[in-house]
Structure 1
Amino acid sequence: MNFQHRKRIIVQTVDERGSVDVGELAQLLQTSEMTVRRDLVQLASSGLIYRTRGGAMKVSLATDKHTFANKTAVNAERKDYICQLAAQEIQEGDIIFMDCGSTVFRLCQFIRNKRITVVTNSLPVLSELMDSTVSVNLVGGEVDKERRAMHGLIAEEHIARYRAHRAFIGVDGISLQNGLSANGEKEASTATAMARQTEKVYLLCDSSKLETDKYLYFAPLSLFDVLITDQEAKPDMMTAYRQAGITLIN
């Protein structure tokens, strides 16, 4: 496959998904990751994509690429599908944890009319559920303006005071070999704190994050009880996850 053909596929994929990893593109193009990285450098220099660590992002999202709104917009359809499945797991009267992940945030629209209690460190979740039937318990602590969430020692102590029926957490990367990984320590510490205080942990993870390793490894696969992903996940990968003993919903 020549560069022009690869260029068209890369630009189209980034435009559709918002962001994409080098490994995903290498599989899609049936070429080496080295070739993909070289292509991304050329496309970025032409202004067609925005180069990120480990992949590429849509230029329109990269203007302020770390804002919560932009993270939420990436792979929105996949995230909504995942959250519809997650909402079906929640019973009336449940107490649930919701972390500050962009996928978890999209669960709000599907639980607004449930009579449940949500304990969260996410300011967007608080805002979204304020005028709903849901009771919200906002975790205290230091405000992370970039993530629009509460983090730190006080936040972890707050979480430790409560017990929940279910926890819904996000992750930046998951692999059968290495477990769960994150882009930073703050998200990782919140996820593990919530997992310790709940009866059942649901990992909400769109298929682009499967078999992906990020900056910080923070927990084994045993941290969660159920993995909820989307229909774009490859069948052979889903088989491998189930054979590894993972309860999977997609």
Structure 2
Amino acid sequence: MIFQKRKQKILQILAQSGEADIHQFADELQTSEITIRRDLNRMAADGMLYRTHGGATRVDPLMGAKAFENKAAVNVKAKDEICRRAANEINDGDIIFMDCGSTVYRLCQFIKNKNIKVITNSLPVVYELINSQVSINLIGGEVDPARQAVHGKIAEEHINRYRATKAFLGVDGISAKGLFAQSENEASITLAIAKNSRHTYLLCDAGKIGKETYLKFAEINVINTIITDYEGFENVLFSQRGVEILKVE
């Protein structure tokens, strides 16, 4: 069965039941679970469904925020190149903050064998690193199910107790005017992490550059280094404001 036919069948299943797991899709479409995972990631990136840990749910038009799984499935190749470069900045013995950004999450695969400590509010980061060489400090507070992350005042107080050598952050948008977020919760966590880190890295694919979203929460100088696949005039503006640009191919 070709992708277009599988796609229609997947959408039919979700229209009827609202959600399904990978095993169910594979049975009904008579195909492998590997193929289904690939199809679901592709459809999530196109906004046709929401990915869950074990399958997918149909798109709810009333749900404004993207679920974490869908954000993680977008621009995977660029995110991996950015994170491979970011991993080169991390040395054994480092204490690093990692926020709940979908690009930051993809850094996990490149640091599992490093003797470091990670402080994070991201549940997917914890799940990915739990059986690795990395020591994990999970930030406490209220869990946001859609973002699979911990937010709130208690989380900020937790962050303020620690000092990190480096922080790896994501944002919803960045321009010469500053850093932008979709929510006050995420903005507050980003600022708390940046305040308690010796050096802050922004992991940012080209789609975020020049994008100004709901909330401007900080100036550019909160960030020390931007690691990106973007090449354009904004990089010059960032550099003029004292931000280092590390560009990947």
* Amino acid of the structure 2 residue aligned with 1:104: V
* Amino acid of the structure 2 residue aligned with 1:227: I
Shift of 1:186: 1.1
Give the Cα–Cα distance (whole angstroms) in 1 for the partners of residues 170 and 47 of structure 2.
24
Normalised TM-score (structure 2): 0.74
* Amino acid of the structure 1 residue aligned with 2:173: G
Q: Which residue of 2 aligns with 1:245?
A: 242
Give the Cα–Cα distance (whole angstroms) in 2 for the partners of residues 189 and 239 of structure 1.
27
| % same residue | 53
Task: Tell me the secondary structure at the aligned position of residue 168 of structure 2.
Answer: strand
Task: Tell me the secondary structure at the aligned position of residue 146 of structure 1.
Answer: coil
Task: Tell me the secondary structure at the aligned position of residue 126 of structure 2.
Answer: helix
* Count of residue pairs brought into register by the alignment: 192
Give the Cα–Cα distance (whole angstroms) in 2 for the partners of residues 59 and 239 of structure 1.
33
Give the Cα–Cα distance (whole angstroms) in 2 for the partners of residues 123 and 245 of structure 1.
33
**Contact 2:220–2:241 (CA under 8 A) maintained in structure 1:** no
Shift of 1:61: 4.2
Q: Which residue of 2 aligns with 1:187?
A: 186
* Amino acid of the structure 1 residue aligned with 2:135: S
* Amino acid of the structure 2 residue aligned with 1:110: F
Q: Which residue of 2 aligns with 1:147?
A: 147
**Contact 2:175–2:234 (CA under 8 A) maintained in structure 1:** no
Shift of 1:245: 2.8
RMSD of equivalent CA atoms? 1.6
Give the Cα–Cα distance (whole angstroms) in 1 for the partners of residues 83 and 162 of structure 2.
23
Q: Is there any run of 5+ residues in structure 1 with no aligned partner, and where? A: 1-49, 51-56
**Contact 2:165–2:197 (CA under 8 A) maintained in structure 1:** yes
Give the Cα–Cα distance (whole angstroms) in 2 for the partners of residues 194 and 240 of structure 1.
24
Give the Cα–Cα distance (whole angstroms) in 2 for the partners of residues 239 and 217 of structure 1.
20
Matches within 5 A, 1:71-150: 71-150=71-150
Give the Cα–Cα distance (whole angstroms) in 2 for the partners of residues 87 and 120 of structure 1.
16
Runs of 4+ in 1 over 4 A off after TM superposition: none
* Amino acid of the structure 1 residue aligned with 2:46: K
Post-superposition Cα deviations, 1:119-154, rounded to whole Å, max 9, x if no partner, equal 000000000000100000000001111111110000
Q: Which residue of 2 aligns with 1:229?
A: 228
Give the Cα–Cα distance (whole angstroms) in 2 for the partners of residues 101 and 140 of structure 1.
17
2:48 paired with 1:60? yes
Q: Is there any run of 5+ residues in structure 2 with no aligned partner, and where? A: 1-42, 51-57, 60-64
Normalised TM-score (structure 1): 0.73
Matches within 5 A, 1:180-219: 180-219=179-218
Q: Which residue of 2 aligns with 1:25?
A: none
